Amino acid sequence: MASSSSFLSEEQLRCSICLDVFTDPVSTPCGHNFCMGCIKEYWDNCSQTQCPLCKQMFTKRPELCVNTFISELARAFRIKCDTCTDQAIKSCLDCGLSFCKTHLEPHMVTQKLKKHKVMDPVENLEDYICKKHERPLQFFCRDDQTCVCQFCTESDHKGHNTVPVEEECGEKKSHLMKTQTEVQQLIQDRLAKIQDIKDAVAIRKKSTDDEISASVEVFAALLRSIERSQAELLEGMEEEQKAAERQAEGLIKDLQQEITELQRRNSELEKISHTEDHLYLLQIYPTLCSPPHTKNWADVRTDPELWTVKVCEERMKTLRRAVSELNQLINKEMEKLVEAQLKEMKLHAVDVTLDPDSAQTSLILSADGKQVTHGDKEQNLPDNPERFDPCICVLGKEGFSSGRFYYEVEVRGKTEWGVGVARESINRKGDFTETPRIGYWTVGLRNGNEYTAYAGPPVLLSLSKKPQKVGVFVDYEEGLISFYDVENSRHIYSFTGQTFSEKLYPYFCPYLNKEGKNSAPLIISPVTHTE
């Protein structure tokens, strides 16, 4: 502390408000320092919050904290010599006094005073003196965990484990350094966790941005298709209406021409009917009585209802074609979305191997634990609690109780199969129906073409293509189990809103080998990551 004071003067450590050495110094946002009490009192008496020195205005009163560095520097300047008013540079525990450089001189030259315990100046010197014996607290009693003087070690603490305060301080510092190392490691762990969270958020944001982009592209494509179909339909309707109008205009024109001709004939008939020229009437009669050259309009169909039915049939053909094209486009775009989902899910792929201890005795497992099929007869295997009996099932060795995981199963060539996940505590003995209520989340194929999600009650699935490889994805915290047709990029089924409280294990059921009709194995496939 003395060395630090040599670089600074007392004047530099004075508060500009009270003009005394800092007490609990604080720094304002503009960089000036004041005693905490001084600046608070100054602001309490001002209508505006501003710096007393530079007059910088603050929109709200700043939060102030003691500047420990300046406080330590100022502390030495606040301690005065007990003999004069100069700054103290040392305190003597034996004398119970603080001394400036001049008055410390006897302790440097007098043999008796040289034995006194001197230290850097402190304000609360009485805290370093034994209150009972008024002697320096030079020892530490480990039994009572307190500082004691020489007389204490010979009286109240006689026989106790006492050591010099320097020795105990050294051990405490060593322990503090160890604690500091641990704290620093905790800090580093949390900083790393913060970075992990930030990285996860960044990955999630990129994934969300990709999904948004893909979704926007899908809806844009759908809108374009709808708008194109609508334009084609409206254009066809308008063209048909114009054709109908042109046809009607032609008919009206023909009718008007005939009306004109008939009106002329009618005028002639009217005129001749009043003539007195009998000879003229007889001569012209054959011409006037001959039928006019007109069209048989009874054969011209102008029933609007018949026309509407015909048009509606054409409209329905157009609409059916548009809906069919739209469905094809939706399926195509959905495949793109599922491809993106599968790409994301494959990042959580796990290595699954079959657990022989859980396999029903008629099941045959490959040596690498990746394939299972039903055999012709049961094997002589121990009936351990983990083994299924009599249901033809087997679980994976690995269980999962958090996070996300994904695996793929090849079902090619099978006419019956079941895959999914099951919780650890399921009853493996006796017959059962796979439902979430008893701890199974599965989908499967029966009778060659009946696809079912065993949701309790079962849900029949309508799949346009026959899956050859099934992907199973689980998000434990989200309560989600989803199934996918990997090769056709189609979503099969999802169990949502589930609650898990124990480990989940991959579940496989190859079903019976019926005279070679279901002899193909279930195969746990390696997950391939595509760009």
Q: Residue range 112-128: average pLDDT?
A: 84
Query: Does 113 score more than 70 pLDDT?
Result: yes
Q: What is the pLDDT of residue 429?
A: 92
C-alpha–C-alpha distance, residues 428 and 440, integer Å: 11
Categorize the per-residue pLDDT at 3 as very low, low, confident or very high, splitting at 50, 70 and 90.
Answer: very low
- Please give the model's pTM, rounded to 2 decimal places: 0.51
Q: What is the pLDDT of residue 326?
A: 77
* 53-73 pLDDT per residue, tens: 999 999 889 988 888 888 877
Strand 162-164 with 33-35, pairing: unpaired
> How is 129-168 classified by DSSP, letter by letter?
B-TTT--B--EEETTTTEEE-HHHHHTTTTTS-EEEHHHH
C-alpha–C-alpha distance, residues 180 and 187, integer Å: 10
Structure token pair of residue 116 = 């006194």
Q: Residue range 367-396: average pLDDT?
A: 93
* 260-281 pLDDT per residue, tens: 988 888 888 888 888 888 787 8
* 307-351 pLDDT per residue, tens: 566 666 777 777 777 777 777 777 777 777 778 788 889 989 999
C-alpha–C-alpha distance, residues 316 and 129, integer Å: 106
Query: Does 435 score more than 90 pLDDT?
Result: yes
Give 96 or 529, the one with higher predicted confidence. 96
Categorize the per-residue pLDDT at 442 as very low, low, confident or very high, splitting at 50, 70 and 90.
Answer: very high
Q: What is the pLDDT of residue 129?
A: 86
Structure token pair of residue 19 = 């003009």
* 470-505 pLDDT per residue, tens: 999 999 999 999 999 999 888 999 999 999 999 999
> How is 416-477 classified by DSSP, letter by letter?
SEEEEEEETT---BS-----GGGTEEEEEEETTTEEEE-SSS-EEE--SS--SEEEEEEETT
C-alpha–C-alpha distance, residues 51 and 39, integer Å: 9
C-alpha–C-alpha distance, residues 479 and 499, integer Å: 5
How far, rounded to the nearest angstrom, does the alpha carbon of residue 50 sit from its chain's CA centroid? 45
C-alpha–C-alpha distance, residues 439 and 100, integer Å: 83
Q: Residue range 414-421: average pLDDT?
A: 97
CB 462 within 8 A of CB 449: no
Alpha helices, H only, 346-396: none
Q: What is the pLDDT of residue 212?
A: 85
Report the chain's mean pLDDT, rounded to a whole number: 87
Categorize the per-residue pLDDT at 303 as very low, low, confident or very high, splitting at 50, 70 and 90.
Answer: low
C-alpha–C-alpha distance, residues 49 and 181, integer Å: 42
C-alpha–C-alpha distance, residues 484 and 342, integer Å: 8
Q: What is the pLDDT of residue 6?
A: 45
Categorize the per-residue pLDDT at 4 as very low, low, confident or very high, splitting at 50, 70 and 90.
Answer: very low
